[in-house]
Structures are given as structure tokens and as C-alpha cells.
Amino acid sequence: MFALIIGVVAASVFGIIATITLGQEGLMTHAWVDVVFWSLIGAGAAVSAINAAWECLPCRLSKLSHKQSLIDRLCRNAPCAH
């Protein structure tokens, strides 16, 4: 979640700086500004999704093995352990 917030903040700061530098008319003529803006948000969302999956993956794999010692160790602090 934190990475998504950082991505949105970075995209907002980039949008403000791009508007100041290029002007309103310059934003309409440069297509790369939109690409960078949405890429910053997308990168933040991707990192958040990877972090969420990575926290749950070891726990879920240990449950597939049905080995109680792995389940106890890996699922103790996992947010998706329930």
C-alpha cells in the first residue's frame, strides 16, 4: 500500500512540474507526459501487488506441503494466514 501512495505522490509531483515547465498547451502536444504519469502510478500499484503476494506466497506453499513446522514458522506473521 505504501508503494502505491508513493507512486501517486510521485505522479502528482511530476504532473505539477510538467505543467509548470511545459505549460497547459505543452502538455497536450507531448504524449510522453501522460505515459510517464500513468507509469508512475502503475509502478506503485505493481510493487504493492508484488509485496502483497510475496508476503502470502511462503505461507501458502507451506500449507501445500502439510508440514506443520513450516506452517507454524512461515504463517505466524503472514497477513493472509487465516
Do the beta carbons of residue 62 and residue 75 sit within 8 Å? Answer: yes
Domain boundaries, the chain: 2-74
Do the beta carbons of residue 78 and residue 59 sit within 8 Å? Answer: yes
Measure Cα distances from 59 to 9, 47, 52, 78 in Å. 32, 19, 12, 7
Query: Which residue shows C-alpha cell 500500500?
Result: 1
pLDDT of residue 53: 80
- pLDDT tens digits, one per residue of 29-68: 888 999 999 999 999 999 998 888 887 788 777 888 887 8
The better pLDDT of the pair 3, 62 is held by 3
Average confidence score pLDDT of the chain:
86
pTM: 0.71
pLDDT at residue 19 greater than cutoff 60: yes
